[in-house]
């Protein structure tokens, strides 16, 4: 009987490792890339919000993005031309040194999707809308536990600064400086 339990235990462990984690939800983005784990990224900082639920505020953000795409259907080439790499990040309490952000990138696409990652890896995807008339950038990550964010996008022609706006309260006080890069950062 002891041998039977040992064999059953080993077989069960083998099945668990072979099957992996099937509880991960599929992304709502049909153009999504394969996602891998990576370092905590400034773009997906999580904070406690003052709203009832993350899912409610995510639905609100998605509705707002779809509405804005209808009224402002053209993406801004200034934002989509390049990969953006972090030159600084202020999380509302402290400045994160740019050396801690090396290898992290953000890429906006013409189809109102974005991806971000660490060197060659993609760590996340989402949808966005940028409106030039009020410099409002709304980002909604495909990961269901990440709150939407609204930014005031400022540009000097070579770099952009994202300043947290009050829209979804999560990123009030946050600021990011991003510099252009023709391609993803490489380790070499």
Specify the pLDDT at position 109.
95
Q: How far is CA 138 from the centre of its chain?
A: 11
Shortest CA distance to 165 belongs to which of 182, 178, 153, 180? 153
The answer to whether residue 138 scores a pLDDT higher than 90 is: yes
Domains of the chain: 33-181 (2.40.128.280)
Average pLDDT, the chain: 77
Specify the pLDDT at position 73.
87
Specify the pLDDT at position 123.
92
Indicate the pLDDT class of residue 50, thresholds 50, 70 and 90: low
Pairwise pLDDT comparison (176 vs 93), residue with the higher score? 176
Paired with 117 in beta bridges are 105, 122
pTM for the full model? Answer: 0.74
Give the span between the Cα atoms of 182 and 74, in whole angstroms: 22
């Amino acid at each position: 009987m002891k041998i039977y339990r040992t064999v059953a235990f080993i077989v069960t462990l083998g099945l668990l490792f072979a099957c992996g984690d099937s509880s991960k939800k599929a992304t709502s983005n049909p153009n999504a890339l394969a996602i891998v784990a990576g370092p905590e990224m400034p773009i997906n900082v999580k904070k406690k919000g003052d709203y009832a639920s993350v899912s409610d505020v995510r639905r609100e953000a998605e509705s707002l993005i779809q509405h804005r795409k209808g009224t402002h259907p053209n993406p801004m080439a200034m934002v989509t031309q390049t990969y953006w790499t972090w030159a600084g990040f202020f999380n509302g309490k402290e400045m994160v040194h740019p050396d801690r952000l090396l290898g992290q990138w953000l890429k906006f696409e013409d189809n109102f999707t974005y991806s971000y990652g660490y060197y060659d890896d993609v760590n996340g995807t989402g949808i966005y809308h940028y409106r030039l008339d009020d410099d409002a950038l709304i980002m909604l990550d495909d990961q269901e536990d990440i709150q939407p964010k609204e930014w005031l996008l400022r540009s000097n022609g070579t770099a952009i600064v994202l300043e947290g706006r009050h829209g979804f309260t999560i990123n009030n006080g946050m600021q990011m400086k991003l510099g252009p890069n023709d391609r993803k950062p490489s380790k070499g």
